[in-house]
Amino acid sequence: MTRASGQSRGLSPTDRDWLSRRFDKNTFFDEPLDKFTSLGVGGPAMVLLQVSDLAGLRDIIQWTGERDFPYFLLGKGTNLIVRDGGIQGIVIRLMGEFRSIEAHKDGTGHTSIQAGAGAMLARLCSFAVKNGLDGLSFATGIPGTVGGAIVMNAGTREGCVADAIQEVRIMNTHGKDMSLTSREISWSYRTMTHNLPSEPGRAAIITGGRFLTRPGNPEILQNKANEHLQRRKATQPHGVRSAGSFFKNPPEGMSAGELIDKAGLKGKAIGGAMVSPVHGNWIVNTGKATASQILSLMDLIRQEVLNMHGISLEPEVKIVGT
């Protein structure tokens, strides 16, 4: 049943009634978001909706437009900081059909994989390996959803989403479902941009993607995936709450992790937020960190690296809320 812990600021009783009727048990008012982020921080959402199909997504986008409510798409929360004040808007999680993964052969014999934005990237990689489809090994071990990977143009030194994706499914701010080819999108390091209209609090939503693959040997692909995972485990923290790589690497020279390490910041802590002793570009929650503490540590790191190296680090994580 729908949960309601007090009146959500900005929502009228009529609004709450419509949301509860339209999305039923998938409507959560004043829902804490710390349990939906890998860092384990974040205040409440005015309302959290779990949306299972295109019709539901279209309805909520159009409804928020009529009432001038902002909305925010929440994936797995692996590259995200929600501030302690939470999000005063409609937070959407893609479930149901948005988590599907299917292989399709075209007329030339090539096989592509259609994946919903809500599907886990790890599941997509596993699907490709089991079906002997090569081309996505670069993404092995990267956390988060397919949608988040597309938005961030996620990748490693061996490749990125832009190298493999053919088409992006997207819903515009009026609720229209459409597709864009990879060539209609501008891809760059950890970002992608398109020409669809957007405004603060209202942007087009990625609903899925189609990835081109090539034939491969499942056993060889699995061995390669295992090597990727072992390498990541050997060089990155594990068993701790984090958002993965926190800062983007500069265009040239030392990586963000190396710059932070040389600034002597490994192990530096503010409250429960700490620079990982294992990897300088990881901020971890040692137990009871707040978003404010993590952001304060972020600012300290940026200032120290700027003072020592003259380089201004840019966060890779997305920071939202109040």
- The Cα 41–Cα 46 span in angstroms is 16
| Burial class (CB within 10 angstroms; exposed 0-12, middle 13-18, buried 19+) of 252 | exposed
- The Cα 141–Cα 225 span in angstroms is 8
Instruction: Provide the residue type at 218 as one letter.
Output: P
Are 72 and 47 contacting, i.e. CB atoms less than 8 angstroms apart? no
Q: Which sequence positions are flagged as catalytic?
A: 190, 245, 316
- Residue among 82, 60, 55 nearest 15 (CA): 60
Tokens of 14: 């009529």
- The Cα 11–Cα 18 span in angstroms is 11
Q: What are phi and psi of 246, to 5 degrees?
A: -90, -40
Q: What is the DSSP string of 174-210?
A: TS-EEEEEGGGSEEETTEEE-SS--BTTB--EEEEEE
